[in-house]
Amino acid sequence: MSAETPVVSNFLRNIIDADLAANKFASRRWGGGPGDAASHAAGVADPAKIRTRFPPEPNGYLHVGHAKSICLNFGLARDYDGVCHMRFDDTNPEKEDQEYVDSILDAIQWLGFGWDKFGQSHLYHASDYFGFMFRAAEYLIEAGHAYVDQQTAEEMRVNRGDFTTPGKDSPFRNRPAAESLALFHEMRDGKHPDGSMVVRAKIDMASPNINMRDPAIYRIRHAEHHRTGNQWCVYPMYTFAHPIEDALEQITHSICTLEFEDQRPFYDWLLARLAEGGLLADPLPHQYEFARLNLTYVITSKRKLMQLVNEKYVEGWDDPRMPTIVGLRRRGFTPEAIQLFCERIGVTKSDTWIDYSVLEGALRDDLEEKAARAMVVLDPLKLKLTNWDTLFGANHAEPCSAPVHPHHEEMGKREFNLTREVWIEREDFQEVPEKGFRRLFPDNMARLKYGYVIKCTGCEKDAEGNVTAVLAEIVPDTKSGTPGADSVKVKGVITWVSASEGLSAEVRLYDRLFTEAQPDAGGRNFLEVLNPDSKRVVTAYVEPGLAQTTAGTSFQFERHGYFVADRKECGADRLVFNRTVTLKDSWGK
């Protein structure tokens, strides 16, 4: 898909182009896997022109916002003959779980990306670097760049100062390195309870950048880690761990979101210190920040998504209304549509809102090309062909044929029968037509798609005056595909399903989850603007050929939109379809 989509320049591509042009990475070595300066020095010239990484914390499900980052990082690596490392940033044992690891890996592969490149897998875990990180912290302490602080969390907070007030040095700040080192070892050995002490980088308590006011780099957590078990009771903080992870993996461009901009000075400070100590070597990785995705009508906060699931506003993480990758997938999104969306929105440093319709547009553009067509009636009203018996005989079934895809003959034909009674959409009949209406109304002609032109003669009503059936006559010799098909010109085309041969199916009509473009704008509780009609379930009639539908297959239900056979509940015994997105409708329903 990217072959036909011209690549649009962005600030990251410009940076990479400049780096490459300057031969900035010419001396890079690759030790065959993540490692310190010595191990890479002993390796080979790095076969990867650049290295990026996608580093989720395995504490939740991936969503459309992550998709932007995934497409960016894996996409750049692909385009520049580099590699993107799949890395779990699992430095907080209390929040993480293997279940999330599995779902994340699955989501990325589904999106169309992988981490095997240059003959090896690049699936990494921050927890594999705990040993090095511990050594790095020891080095920092020994070199006078870090210390063990025994202030309480509250004392630390107060002494950090605020935006206008410089912080105050901790009373432990200048304790001898040997004392800090001994305490750090005691921390590791489980001699101290959670929260009793912490290792802090020694930088500048008066820095205007609060992240430089002696940030905590190691804390005590007597917790079982999903990968390292009980091997450790001290764990590195993100601030400290992330730059090291990047360096050990020889990442060239460490791309993260805007809120980490203030963290970059520490990122550079840390790597420079470790390079001084010989633990790391140039060229060191650099951090670049881009604006995360803001999508209207969508919420991506982990906490809020969790709330939607836990409080049953939706039916799980893979509910088709959820912006999670599993939700989008079940809704009928394709990986290509999501990739197209990411290409269209671009990458910048300006914090913007993308309208939900852009996502829908990309989806339609992808599905239009590949979805098989089918005729389905979602809101059935019976149509009686009153001259059927005299024309064909009551029990006759008239075979009709239609292309699987109007622009792709090679996809073949589908066959179904026209019978004396068919289902049509209730909205396709108006006893008194509104201006511009071209479908069925008394004395008007329209075509039953792929069948005959019919002339509406009236309707039947119940005691309350509700229309219960539409009456029409077939106009002879107008069957689609026959020489006389165009002898009568009509403006309206009606989709239909044989009343006697059509199959019934459960169809879920999904709509956006919220009624406001920015559900949590201005501190509003997003639950107050949940769309009560985000899911409507109808029993529809579908053409007989859909009987053998495979779960996960996408269709265009003609004149309605794109639908997908639900991957969990659609089976041979029960047809279940999810509406992925409607067709564009310039007439307005």
**Binding to RNA, residues 355-384 (CB under 7 A):** 355, 357-358, 361, 364-365, 368, 373
Q: Which of 440, 449, 545, 450 is nearest to 502 (CA)?
A: 545
CB of 392 to RNA, least distance (A): 17
- β-strand partners of 455: 445, 473
State the minimum distance, in angstroms, from the CB of residue 348 to RNA. Answer: 4
Which two structure tokens, joined as six digits, stand for 188?
Answer: 């590791």
Which residue from 110, 139, 172, 238 is in contact with RNA, where contact means CB under 7 A?
Answer: 238
**Site track for RNA across 185-204, x = CB under 7 A:** ---------xxxxx------
Binding positions for RNA, 202-221, rule CB under 7 A: 208-211, 215-216, 219-221
The one catalytic residue in 94, 179, 276, 302 is 302
CA distances from 186 to 150, 160, 175, 222, 391 (A): 13, 26, 16, 13, 95
Cα(506)–Cα(570) distance, rounded to whole angstroms?
9
Dihedral (C-alpha) 250, 255, 256, 258: value to the nearest 10 degrees?
140
- Is residue 556 a contact point for RNA (CB under 7 A)? yes
β-pairing, 503-510 with 380-385?
unpaired
Min. distance of Cβ 154 from RNA in angstroms?
Answer: 8
Contact between 9 and RNA by CB under 7 A: the answer reads: yes
CA dist list (Å): 298 to 318, 332, 517, 527 = 15, 17, 8, 12
Q: Which is nearer to RNA, 212 or 513 (CB)?
A: 212
DSSP designation for 300: -
Site for RNA in 280-299 (CB under 7 A): 291
- Site for RNA contains 57 (CB under 7 A): yes
Q: 81 or 262, CB closer to RNA? A: 262
Residue whose token pair is 């939900």: 356
| Closer residue to RNA (CB): 13 or 384 | 13
The reply to whether 566 sits near RNA by the rule CB under 7 A is no
Phi-psi region of 190 (alpha: psi -120 to 50; beta: other; left: phi over 0): left
52 annotated among ligand-binding-site residues: no
- Report, in Å, the least distance between residue 268 CB and RNA: 12
Q: Is 175 annotated as a binding residue?
A: no
Active-site position among 24, 95, 221, 292: 292
Q: Kindly state whether residue 492 participates in binding RNA, applying the rule CB under 7 A.
A: yes
Task: Please give the structure tokens belonging to residue 291.
Answer: 């604006």
CA distances from 552 to 206, 542, 571 (A): 58, 17, 10
Residue 276 annotated as catalytic: no
Q: Per the annotation, does 58 bind a ligand?
A: yes
Say how far apart CA 29 and CA 36 lie, in whole Å.
Answer: 11
The answer to the question of residue 237 lying near RNA (CB under 7 A) is yes
- Is 239 within any annotated ligand binding site? no
Site for RNA, residues 446 to 475, rule: CB under 7 A: 447, 449-450
Please name every residue paired with 287 in a beta bridge, in sequence order, or none if there are none: 254
Which region, judged by CB under 7 A, interacts with RNA, from 252-260, 317-325, 541-549, 566-574?
252-260
Q: Is 89 annotated as a binding residue?
A: yes
Is 532 within any annotated ligand binding site? Answer: no
Annotated ligand binding at 369? The verdict is no
User: Closest CB to RNA among 30 and 266?
Assistant: 266
Contact residue for RNA among 36, 89, 249, 318 (CB under 7 A): 89
Note if 329 is an active site residue: no
Of the candidates 320, 316, 314, the residue with the CA atom closest to the CA atom of residue 576: 320
Q: Which of 13, 29, 49, 57 is catalytic?
A: 57
Query: Considering Cα of 406, then 412, then 417, then 422, what sign does the dihedral take?
Result: negative
Residue 260 touching RNA (CB under 7 A): yes
Q: Please count the CA atoms within 13 angstroms of the CA of 328 that sit on its side-chain side.
A: 27
Of residues 496 through 555, those in contact with RNA by CB under 7 A are none
Q: Is 259 in the site for RNA (CB under 7 A)?
A: yes
Between the CA of residue 25 and those of 82, 411, 492, what are the distances in Å?
12, 48, 64
302 is catalytic: yes
Among 52, 69, 73, 92, indicate the residue that binds RNA (CB under 7 A).
92
Nearest CB to RNA, comparing residues 17 and 528: 17
Q: Does 438 bind RNA (CB under 7 A)?
A: yes
Residue from the set 223, 411, 485, 538 that interacts with RNA by CB under 7 A? 485
Q: How far apart are CA 359 and CA 580, in angstroms?
A: 12
58 half-sphere exposure, CB direction, 13 A CA radius: 26
Task: By CB under 7 A, tell whether 230 contacts RNA.
Answer: no
The whole-angstrom separation of Cα 144 and Cα 177 is 6
For residue 283, say if its preceding peptide bond is cis, omega within 30 degrees of 0. yes
- Does 261 participate in binding RNA (rule CB under 7 A)? yes
Per-residue exposure over 244-256, b if at least 16 CB sit within 10 Å of its own CB, e if not: bbbbbbbbbbbbb
| Size, binding site for RNA by CB under 7 A | 92
Q: With contacts defined by CB under 7 A, name the span among 323-331, 400-408, 500-508, 530-538 that binds RNA.
A: 400-408
Task: Work out whether strand 554-557 and strand 372-374 pair parallel, antiparallel, or are unpaired.
Answer: parallel
Footprint of RNA on 139-178 (CB under 7 A): 151-153, 156-157, 160-164
Q: How far is the CB of 35 from RNA (least distance, A)?
A: 21
The interface with RNA within residues 121-140 (CB under 7 A) comprises: none
d(CA 191, CA 48): 44
Q: Is position 238 annotated in a ligand binding site?
A: yes
**Residues placed in the known binding site for ATP:** 57-59, 257, 292-293
Residue ranges of the binding site: 57-59, 89, 238, 257, 292-293
Which residues are known catalytic residues? Answer: 57, 292, 302
